Structure 1
Amino acid sequence: MKDLARRRTQPEIQIIVGCVFLLVATAMGFLACSTGWTTQDMRISTDIQALRMPWLTGAALVLNLACDTVGGIIILVVLTTALMLTGRRVDAVRSLVVVVAGWGISTILKIVVARPRPANPHALLGKLGDSSFPSGHVALTLSLVIALALLIRRRWMIVVGAVVVLAQMFARVYLGAHYLSDTVGSLIAAPAAIAIALALVRTRALAGQRVDPARRAPACELPSVDRTGQDPIAE
């Protein structure tokens, strides 16, 4: 009973912690809209964009293309389909929940915070959405890394994933698409949303495991007695 109670409590704590971090990310987004914060962000962006060279630009554009809306959908469909076809249905559902939650929260916060994109005449990308906080590309990249880390569960996967996420953060500022704080906001918001989503799924699974005591079969059953009072087994 204690173990079952502990299992039910853990998702609740996970949801609370996730909500706290979502509030932190939202507060950060509103603070980042201030003039002072934006000025500091622009200075960092200028320093990073001063490093531009052909091979870095090419790598940044590849990261941009791989994790845009179309690229993200393709990766997600391929990943979940491959897992389903190999009989890993639970892993497929979990991966879908992780990516949709982590990526989706960036869209919600963009609407809530509504921070304008960097006013950069030297940006290397064309027309982008109006809202900047948090970075959808970084949120998607991090969500995919978390999904793969849960599937592979090896240290090298965590290391490689961390490098890819950091590279995506650099690329978003390098290309002039985001401020640095936009990318940091994704590091807070995406894991928080994923934690909440996985906890809700686990809570539902635990609820499904509960057995109604009224429906529980008795440990043993006595032989039935017919109306004549004779034991049918004895006959």
Structure 2
Amino acid sequence: MSTSLSPETAKRVSRRWPVISGGVAVLLALGLGLMVVVRTVPGGVDVSFLGELVEHRTAFWTVPALAMDFLGGGWFGVFVVPIGIAVILLIARKRWSAVYFVLATVVSAGMVQLLKSLFGRARPMDILVTADFGSFPSGHVANAATMAVTLAILLQRRWVWAAGVAYVVLMLLSRTYLGAHWLSDTIGGLLLGAAVAVLLWAPLASRLQKEWSAPAAASR
């Protein structure tokens, strides 16, 4: 008797891991948020990591950190960069990819604001930039992780993954260097941003795969 899976069954099985991994990442982010709220004061790792970066603040590092602040947040990071990437995808006739990318960035930003209001964590005192209410999770890092993962999923290139990892790490370091977030805030943002990208990819995976494997047919 044959035990091979039908194509449809195999497809459903292969799509389970994004839902499972994305769900686990969301739970980890929520658990981390609960931990930092229950502690009421920053933990030793948060304090020591921030203290180390603050101790080594110089103009040489502050300028690129401020550049990352501008690139990853505010009107430029929240609107210009995502819309610009979506427009490029539309020009390339990747309509479902543009929908996926915009939807992921919007949902990620919405989840960040929801958790900021839910946890209400205070930001570090040594902050060098103006920031809104709520330290956990980091919106800049969540946005960076969401864009990095969505583009890596869409383009399927190793250099995109490498560039995405580098971008997220630099954003993480810049946010703590500027005193805008504790280390745990940035980890929470990373988990949340990546989770949103993976979870939203699952229901659109088939359409996206067809769009990139047969662009001519998908654009008709």
- Which bracket does the TM-score occupy, shorter chain normalised? 0.7 to 0.9
Runs of 4+ in 1 over 6 A off after TM superposition: none
| Aligned 8 A contact 1:98 1:146 in 2 | no
Contact 1:97/1:198, CA 8 A, preserved across alignment: no
1:79 aligns with 2:85: yes
1:3-35, Cα deviation, whole Å (9 max, x unpaired): 102223443453243223212210111101214
Separation in 2, partners of 1:88, 1:17: 26
- Give me the TM-score of the superposition, normalised by structure 2: 0.82
Q: Find the residue that maps to 1:95 and give its secondary structure.
A: helix
Match of 1:7 in 2: 11
For 2:182, the aligned partner's letter is Y
- Partners of 2:116 and 2:136 within 8 A in 1: yes
Q: Which region of structure 1 is more displaced relative to structure 2, 139-148 or 3-12?
A: 3-12
Aligned alpha-carbon RMSD (Å): 2.1
Measured in 2, the distance between the counterparts of 1:154 and 1:17 equals 21
The aligned counterpart of 1:162 is 165
Which residue, out of 91, 97, 100, partners 2:106? 100
1:220 is aligned to none
1:74-223, aligned counterparts within 5 Å?
A: 74-118=80-124, 120=125, 122-126=126-130, 128-202=131-205
CA-to-partner distance for each residue in 1:170-199, whole Å, 9 max, x for gaps? 110111100001001122122122222222
**2:132, 2:98 → 1: CA distance?**
30
Q: Does 1:29 align with 2:33?
A: yes
TM-score normalised by L of structure 1? 0.77
- Comparing 102-111 with 172-181, greater Cα deviation is found at 102-111
Return 146-155 or 169-178, whichever deviates more.
146-155
1:152 Cα offset (Å) = 3.1
Deviation at 1:77? Answer: 0.9
Deviation, 1:75, is 0.8
2:66 aligned to which of 61, 68, 75? 61
Q: Secondary structure of 1:48's partner?
A: helix
Structure 1's unaligned 5+ residue stretches are: 206-235
Q: How many corresponding residue pairs?
A: 201
CA-CA distance at 1:91 after TM superposition: 2.0
Q: Does the Cα contact within 8 Å between 1:101 and 1:194 map onto a contact in 2? A: no
Is contact 2:19-2:199 (8 Å) kept? yes
Would you say the 8 A contact 1:139–1:186 is kept in 2?
A: yes
Q: Whose radius of gyration is greater, 1 or 2?
A: 1
Matched-pair contact (CA < 8 Å) for 1:63–1:168: yes
Q: Which digits, 9 at most, give the CA deviation of each residue in 1:128-185, with x for residues without a partner?
A: 2221111000011111222322343222222222111111111101111000010011
Unpaired runs of 5+ in structure 2? 208-220
Contact 2:149 2:198 in 1 (8 A): no
Residue 147 of structure 1 aligns to which amino acid in structure 2? T
Counterpart for residue 70 of structure 1: 75
**3-state SS, counterpart of residue 52 of structure 1:** coil
User: 2:100·2:200 contact (CA, 8 Å) conserved in 1?
Assistant: no
What is the distance in 1 between the residues matched to 2:18 and 2:93? Answer: 29
Q: Which residue identity lines up with residue 66 of structure 2 in the other structure? A: L
| Aligned mates of 1:20, 1:178 — CA distance in 2 | 23
